[in-house]
Amino acid sequence: MLVTGANGFIGSALCAALQAAGNRVRRAVRGTQPGASDAFPVGEIGPGTDWAAALAGMQCVVHLAARTHVLPETADDSLAEYHRINVEGTRRLAQQAAQEGVRRLVFLSSIKVNGESTTERPFTEDDPPHPEDAYGISKWEAEQALHRMSEETRLEMVILRPPLVYGPGIKGNFLRLLRYVARGVPLPLGVIRNQRSLVYVGNLAGAIIKALDAPQAAGRTYLVSDGEDVSTPDLVRGLALALGVTARLPALPLAALGFGATLAGKRAEFARLSGSLQVDSSRIRRELDWQPRYSLTQGLTETARWYRGGGGRP
């Protein structure tokens, strides 16, 4: 099977899991990799990408490659750039996959298609999409393009929408939080009482493998999570325990934290730290008999072990 974005955080874990299960994996990568016989360079992803050589003889494709959050943003028109790569690039891959006789394409979307936060109950697959940023909008548009392609061809589609994915190799805000906790930086978040869903990268890899094989998954969309929602302070405590350090969580008033975040231009980051985002992953558990292999504690332990071993150090 072909895996796009194979050298990334999720792709590396997925390829390892697929190979451990005895699958033959072909990795679609951006540039040439001397000595890597399973790597197929495809260049820049977009409406003109030629996937034919990489797709030849493949029965299944997992499409992970995407333009994710770019900070600081460098594109003059970020929405257009997200559309070019995440929508038109995905459409192009699906078109050529159908032409090459590929049976199934599993597309990694995002919970951002549902929205940025929850209040009274977790998100489900039946909720109306409400993407708010360019990335979420592009993922929703890509999903719609794939459904149309599936209706016009024999190519089966399965869509997975994960929340925050964590584990060894993580980058971005989660790695930043990990560094703060490891260094004993006081994080004035003790008053926060939110709930957020996460998914460990090993659990997500297991869900993708289930989606590749299950006949009943064709045409379905699934939300995926560890099933152990956690508050931001409890996440910090869990990371501290895994790292063998003390969690430092002074409790400042929420209004003061929000005001300070606004002054610092970090309002969106504060909203993610203080707000809730929960997903209901019961559909994939019920329909595909999928269960997370790793608990939250095990996932944080593996992430901390990677970090202590030198991963993610600046």
Helices (H), the chain: 9-20, 52-55, 78-82, 89-99, 134-152, 172-183, 201-213, 232-243, 254-263, 267-274, 282-288, 296-308
Residue 228: Cβ-neighbour burial (10 angstroms; 0-12, 13-18, 19+): middle
The answer to whether residue 135 is catalytic is yes
d(CA 314, CA 123): 35
How many Cα neighbours within 13 Å face the side chain of 52? Answer: 3
Q: Which of 135, 166, 200, 294 is catalytic?
A: 135
d(CA 76, CA 167): 32
Tokens 């990335």, residue?
135
Closest of 7, 205, 208 to residue 107, by C-alpha: 208
Residues belonging to the active site: 135
